[in-house]
Structure 1
Amino acid sequence: MKRHLAREKAFQVLFQVDVNDIEMEEAIDHLLEETDSDAFMEQLVHGVFDKKQELDDKIADHLENWSVKRLPLVEKTLLRMAVYEMDHVDDVPDQVAINEAIELAKVFGDEKSGKFINGVLSKMTK
């Protein structure tokens, strides 16, 4: 599985866990159905889930006039994934993590999601 697709699947799993309050493994099994799992997707899902509070704290430090609790779930999930990649995945350049989050925001968010995510993540790289 290519990394872009792995990120998309990881986003869908993390989103589903938050929305439906189901177990992570159940969400992974449901999403993948007959498809084999992917190590990068698993790393993202488990890493974001395990470090959620750390990621939220870092995101909160870079928000203006927002709190993490008030963020729409699409944006919150994509920000968590991007920050996790930027901080914990050594072979992914920060700009790649940012661009991937923006691209996924264009698919799963509204017309303002990509700009919002770009703004928050760009502050983190300065």
Structure 2
Amino acid sequence: MSARTRARRRALELLFEAGQRGLELDQVVTMRSNDPEYPMKEYAVEIVEGIMSRRDEIDEVISTYAQGWTIERMPAVDLALLEIGTWEILFNDDVPDKAAIDEAVSLAKQFSTDDSPGFVSGMLSRILDVKPTLI
């Protein structure tokens, strides 16, 4: 598993934990950064900070292109993966767009429902298709 893949997984864990525990993302990052049994990945922090700084914008994009779904109805893991993938597609030029989608789908296969990989792939592909109009 590549370093970036591990970092995405860690970012997914941080986003999920914050949502489930009702904590702010920066609280979870700080808490986990001081935990010697929970090694923090630099890229995971970059992802989480990127999402925190643009969360309203990212969630608006997800809401706009989630045909028939509201953010509140989405499984928490799927929403976190969509936030990570959307941030990478729209705001991180260091990651190829297709890699961002592939990584999100791979994590959905590992950590979410049987339907999640197709849902995440379809959503991120729609966002990629309209990327030029979003940025």
TM over 0.5: yes
Aligned match of 1:120? 123
- Aligned-partner residue type, residue 30 of structure 1: R
Pairing of 1:38-49 with structure 2 (within 5 A): 38-49=41-52
Contact 1:56 1:80 in 2 (8 A): yes
Find runs of 4+ consecutive structure 1 residues off by over 4 angstroms.
none
Instruction: Give how far 1:100 is off.
Output: 0.5
Aligned match of 1:73? 76
Aligned match of 1:7? 8
Aligned match of 2:108? 105
Among the aligned pairs, what percent are the same residue?
Answer: 29
Task: Give distance in 2, aligned partners of 1:16 and 1:113.
Answer: 19
The partner residue of 1:33 within 12, 32, 35 is 35
Instruction: Give how far 1:25 is off.
Output: 4.5
The alignment yields a C-alpha RMSD, in angstroms, of 1.8
Pairing of 1:45-56 with structure 2 (within 5 A): 45-56=48-59
Instruction: Give how far 1:98 is off.
Output: 0.3
Q: Call closer, same or farther: CA 1:69–1:30 in 2, change over 3 Å.
A: same
Residue 82 of structure 1 aligns to a residue in which SS?
Answer: helix
Instruction: Give how far 1:113 is off.
Output: 0.5
Task: Give distance in 2, aligned partners of 1:17 and 1:47.
Answer: 15
Instruction: Give how far 1:8 is off.
Output: 0.2
Instruction: Give how far 1:7 is off.
Output: 0.3
- Aligned-partner residue type, residue 32 of structure 2: H
- Aligned-partner residue type, residue 58 of structure 2: L
Task: Give distance in 2, aligned partners of 1:56 and 1:24.
Answer: 15
Instruction: Give how far 1:30 is off.
Output: 3.2
Instruction: Give how far 1:76 is off.
Output: 0.7
Contact 2:32 2:40 in 1 (8 A): no
Instruction: Give how far 1:37 is off.
Output: 2.9
Residue 78 of structure 2 aligns to a residue in which SS?
Answer: helix
Q: Does 1:61 align with 2:64?
A: yes
TM-score, length-scaled by structure 1: 0.90
Question: Structure 2 regions of 5+ residues with no counterpart?
Answer: 130-135
Contact 2:10 2:40 in 1 (8 A): no
- Aligned-partner residue type, residue 81 of structure 1: I
Residue 56 of structure 2 aligns to a residue in which SS?
Answer: helix
TM-score, length-scaled by structure 2: 0.84
Number of equivalences: 126
Task: Give distance in 1, aligned partners of 2:86 and 2:117.
Answer: 15
